[in-house]
Amino acid sequence: MLYQGIEMGEARNRRGIDWMAAVHGGASLPLGVLLVRLVGGWLSVDPLRAVILSTGRTALTLLVLSLACTPVGWLIGRRVVVRARKLLGLYGFAYAALHVVLFVGVDYGFDLRLVGGEVGGKRFLQAGLAAFLLLLPLALTSTGGWMRRLGRWWKVLHRLVYVAVPLAVLHWVWLLKVNRPLPWIYGVVVLALLALRLPLFPRRMARLRR
């Protein structure tokens, strides 16, 4: 029985490693595809704009998937899904940071005065900057060491993601001059995922799983 238990535990660990490898691979894939398209000259006539838009969309997608991990974990009971939440969130921040660096550094040559003038006059940039600034402390305090230092305040701090992700959706909606359905679909999904965090839903999902 002891050996059987050890074997079952090792099998569970291997499945967990496979899950994490899948998250790493899936989150890295958009960047690989983007680099191939960029090197091959298969982007639009304005490749810089295409790369900036692509990294922004990927960042938002990964952040939404990170939000979805918690209710999925409640429903199917796999802790590895909840562990994937942190990894997806960090990848989402990495793409968001690349998005900002490309905009500020490549597009505007790190001319902060020029960037400040742009941000001051455009609400979609204001929403995007606010979202990024809210995500920054979450990424910096994502380690176990910071979790121990902050104690119960760690969870309070990391609830800022519930503000940052809707702001990122708003950034996308306001960026587009023409109404397109995809940003609104993301907005509906984000609102649904936030609503699922109300106290009523975790209990119902636990009963449904049982």
The tokens describing 113, both together, are 């005065």
Lowest mean pLDDT among 9-23, 102-116, 148-162: 9-23
The tokens describing 93, both together, are 């921040």
| Cα–Cα distances in angstroms (integers) from residue 89 to residues 43, 138, 147, 179, in the given order | 27, 9, 16, 28
Q: What number of other Cβ atoms are within 10 A of residue 199's Cβ?
A: 6
Query: Could you tell me the end-to-end alpha-carbon distance of the chain, in angstroms, rounded to an integer?
Result: 26
Share of the chain above pLDDT 70, in %: 86
How confident is the model at residue 2, as a pLDDT? 30
3-state secondary structure of 111: coil
| Cα–Cα distances in angstroms (integers) from residue 46 to residues 40, 49, 65, 182, in the given order | 14, 6, 29, 22
115, amino acid identity: V
Q: pLDDT at residue 13 above 90?
A: no
pLDDT bracket for residue 55 (50, 70, 90): very high
Summarize pLDDT for 155-176 with one digit per residue, the tens: 999 999 999 999 999 999 999 8
